[in-house]
Structure 1
Amino acid sequence: MDTILWDEESDNYTRRAKDVSDKYLEIKEVLIADSVLDIQSSLKKVPEKILDIGCSFGITIQLMKEHFPSSEFYGIDPGKESIETAQNNNPETNISFQQGYSHNLPYADNSFDVIILSMVLQWIPRKYLIKTIAEIDRVLKTDGIIYIQEFLPNKSITSVSRHNQDVFIFKDDYSSFFVTFPWLKEVLRKVDKIEEGEDQQRCTSIIRKYEIEDVYFLKNASKEKQYD
């Protein structure tokens, strides 16, 4: 069981958001404002570069730039219409949008202080999930953070998109995937909408990337030789 890439679904999402823009943006603004506060509480300094993976029509960046006006923002999304809408809505020179995929990020190593994954990982085809995690780790600076917001089911579940029968949604505790690597540590975790049941409850997680030397301890070579 896998899924097609999210090109079409991304643009469908953008069109639906436009149709209910006022109500949608009001709800989204509250969620993003809370997310910004979560991010700010975990940062030691103002981030130079922020990447929003699965940026859709750019609403997250549009709201976050108010809190980080001196930061450079980058958004990537598979939907052509989504990217065009994002560019039209955010013409500032410190904001860049690009059509592309999470498993093949067109950015240099150690580029970003913050990477945002808001309701994105559930859409990624399973064959690209490990590549996506590797790419995120590659472009994230040491001491940078990953912001994840996803559904939090009690067990791994999948469902079919109501808009496209060829698209599957995979709900899981995605922060646990990242922290299997010892240099990635969860520093904040918050669960919301618990009263709505496991199909709707959501987890906000902030993960920090540490120096390899800070998480691996070098054995004393001379002592080790005693046991050879």
Structure 2
Amino acid sequence: MFADAFLNAEVLAEAWPLLWMGLVQTVLLSLLVVPVGVLGGLLLALLSLARSRPLRWAVAAWVDVFRALPPLVLLVLVYSGLPFAGVEVSAWGAVAIGFFLNTGAYYGEILRAGIASVPPGQMEAARSLGLTRARALRLVVLPQAVRNVLPDLLSNTLEVVKLTSIAAVVALPELLFQARQAQSLSYNATPILAAAALYFALLWPLVRLLSRLENRAPPQRTA
């Protein structure tokens, strides 16, 4: 009974074209939302360094708001709410906007912490060599900041890729959406289990890389 309900080879063969199309869409979604989130986070991290205190407060408020809002609610609000304001947004556009707002806030906090971890003397040394503040940030501070928080960046990226499954609520045919379609046609749970296996195959290399980076991280000194 269990094998027939969850490991039905005939159902899997029939569902495979849908699952494959869903996997392709999930990969494409990931290639969209991860760079969008990283760029949004980098922008927020740089704005948090502004000399203007009101601007820093505004950035902090922005980050708090979009970290607190559930991403699913945010996605539905963008996709279903903006049309009431006369702004039509496609499913892909809604996902891009929603992930930019939500995951950008998380990436921003990670990158801000990474920048803060770089000793101030690095910036001072770069400026003494004649680099502008912008070039010093780009060439000296940011590479060190990214290296310091690389495990956190990868961990957040892992969560972002898993979060692409919420795109199903706006009828974007990613892996979970297609698996549920196949399940509704077959009245069998095999497509859902197959989707879980495909998510595992997609994300397992990143999980192993993250584990290796975490194991290589030097132990923190205690006072």
TM-score, with structure 2 as normaliser: 0.25
Q: Whose relative contact order is higher, 1 or 2, with alpha carbons under 8 Å and at least 6 apart?
A: 2
**Larger fraction in strand:** 1
**Larger fraction in helix:** 2
Higher Cα Rg, which structure: 2
TM-score, with structure 1 as normaliser: 0.25
